[in-house]
Amino acid sequence: MKRIIVIIAKITRAILHLLGRGTAFPGKIALKLNKNILTFFEMPKTTIFVTGTTGKTSVVGTIYEVYKNSGYKVVSNIKGSNLLDGVTTAVIEASKINGKTKVDALVIEVDERYVKEVFKFITPKYFIINNLSRDQLARNGHYELVFNEINNSIKEKTHLILNADDPLVVKFGLNKKNKITYYGLKENKYSTKKNKINTLDLAYCPICHKKLVFDYFNYGNLGYYYCPNNDFKRPKCSYEATLLKNSFEVNGDVIKLNNDALYNVYNMLACYSVCLIDKLKKEDIVNSLNQLSLKVKRLNEFKINDNKGVILLSKNETPLSYNQSLEYIKDKKGTKTVAIGFTRISGRYDLKDLSWIYDINFELLKDKSIARIILIGPFAYDLAVRLKQANIDSKKFLYCLDYQNSLDFCLKNVLGDLYCVLYFDLNYLYLDQLKERGLL
């Protein structure tokens, strides 16, 4: 019966592939017919699972390319869902009809809330946790709830690969017998002695509850931290990067960056670490990362006459993501126009709650280099109230409620370089319109 289910799922996947659609539907069918279907499959020698609040897709896509370029047969779910249906679809793709694997590696992105569901059936060889922070209040509640769900799902056989600069991620290593490898980024030109954001997601030692001391912050609550009672601190890293100009150096290797946003460094460093740990050839890893063809999903650049335009995908309800975009803009030189907008609060739920915009450090836009701020879409005036609270001069504000034509509005009213901080809805709209005009 299980073989028949696999055949049905594979036929469904083949039809969808011919139609140009990469969906999680084959996995959904298989799970509907047998909710324990994942127990039927043999896992390949290498299974790499990735979770975190941000960066999952970029990390998985990059690891996939490194393995592929190194001559491995590899399957991932970068074109499908990161929920249980999507993971099941990827496993089916990686398997023969009899459940035996036909690939060398399986690289999977897993939504934070679905780790517990996936790990009921699969114990990965490697598990990367890149970051963890408050995100989508209606779905996730408190980030400690998400932490506990993930933490309780981790099996002892899994090799944990953790971001040493995030204290909430390092907390996963407490009281664990797992093999653990840490990676991190040294203090650099973007580091600050003072936290740029309004709140920290882990401000107190998880052991003695004394307030943590930070020597520096890279962004958010990522940086160098320690407990005054010496109960908890940033661990020693096996892979520690030094930021250079448009690149970083780690263990004697120089890796080029598509952009110098710090989240990009952490994403690439996670990939470099797991590939070396799994004993891929060092030369192949470095060459592949330096010739990366993966499109940077969160940042796209285009030309506006003699100036540049940048589109920064920024997730609503996720302060960590949004603040990275704002910090990136603030650190850029020259006169700037910033466009901010979204047409819906959530991509999954019908929400009216805008309280999350008060967790975002819009105070970063209180800068002389920012000449104009264009507020776009049905929530433009809500954003204006938040920006006024940040003591930003409202004379800089322009409003465009007609989001369908807001790109034209931005191009007509731009002063200097244009930085568009957009949610998925407007992000895809702008990319399509820029491609139509040959600007991207």
The pLDDT assigned to 345 comes to 81
pLDDT single digits (tens) 277-330:
999 999 999 999 999 855 545 678 899 888 999 999 888 877 877 888 898 898
Residue 437's contacts (CB-CB under 8 Å, 6 or more residues apart) are: none
Q: What is the pLDDT of residue 199?
A: 55
pLDDT at position 78 = 86
pLDDT band at 335 (very low <50, low <70, confident <90, very high): very high
Q: Decide: helix, strand or coil at residue 336.
A: strand
DSSP E strands in 176-263: the ranges are: 180-185, 213-219, 222-226, 239-244, 247-250, 253-256
pLDDT at 140: 52
The answer to whether residue 142 scores a pLDDT higher than 80 is no
**What does the pLDDT average to over 390-401?**
96
The arithmetic mean of pLDDT across residues 3-32, rounded, is 85
Give every CB contact of residue 367 below 8 A, 6+ residues apart in sequence: 330
375's tokens: 């507020």
Mean pLDDT, the chain, whole residue set: 90
For residue 14, the tally of other CB atoms under 10 A from its CB is 11
Instruction: Provide the residue type at 76 as one letter.
Output: S
Q: 341: closest CA among 300, 311, 320, 297?
A: 311
Integer angstrom CA distances of residue 408 from 36, 370, 412, 424: 51, 20, 6, 18
Give the pLDDT of residue 344.
Answer: 87
CB-based burial label for 36 (10 Å; 0-12, 13-18, 19+): exposed
In 3D, which of 103, 30, 84, 90 has the Cα closest to residue 60?
90
Neighbour-count burial of 116, counting CB atoms closer than 10 A to its CB (0-12 exposed, 13-18 middle, 19+ buried): middle
Q: How high is the pLDDT of residue 317?
A: 73
Q: Do residues 159 and 178 lie in contact, with contact meaning Cβ atoms separated by under 8 Å?
A: yes
Instruction: Report the pLDDT value the prediction gives residue 135, as an integer from 0 to 100.
Output: 56
Of 271, 318, 277, give the one whose Cα is nearest residue 294: 271
**Is the pLDDT confidence value at 139 over 70?**
no
Q: What's the residue count for the chain?
A: 440
Bridge partner list, 304: 307
Sheet with 417-422: list strands edge to edge.
299-304, 307-313, 417-422, 336-341, 370-376, 397-400
Instruction: Please count the CA atoms within 13 angstroms of the CA of 434 that sit on its side-chain side.
Output: 22
Q: Please say whether the beta carbons of 103 and 44 come within 8 A.
A: yes
Q: Residue range 350-377: average pLDDT?
A: 89
Cα separation, 157 vs 360, whole angstroms: 38
End-to-end CA distance of the chain: 49
Could you read off the pLDDT of 89-118 as tens digits, one per residue? 999 999 999 999 999 999 999 999 899 999
> Average of pLDDT values for 340-361?
81
Which amino acid is present at 166? D
CA dist 159 → 46, 181, 278, 385 (Å): 11, 8, 11, 47
Q: 132 in the Ramachandran plot: left (φ > 0), alpha (ψ -120 to 50) or beta?
A: beta
Q: Which residue, 83, 52, 272, 285, is CA-closest to 183?
A: 272
Task: Write out the two tokens for 378.
Answer: 């049905």
- Complete domains list, the chain, with CATH: 46-74+101-290 (3.40.1190.10), 299-436 (3.90.190.20)
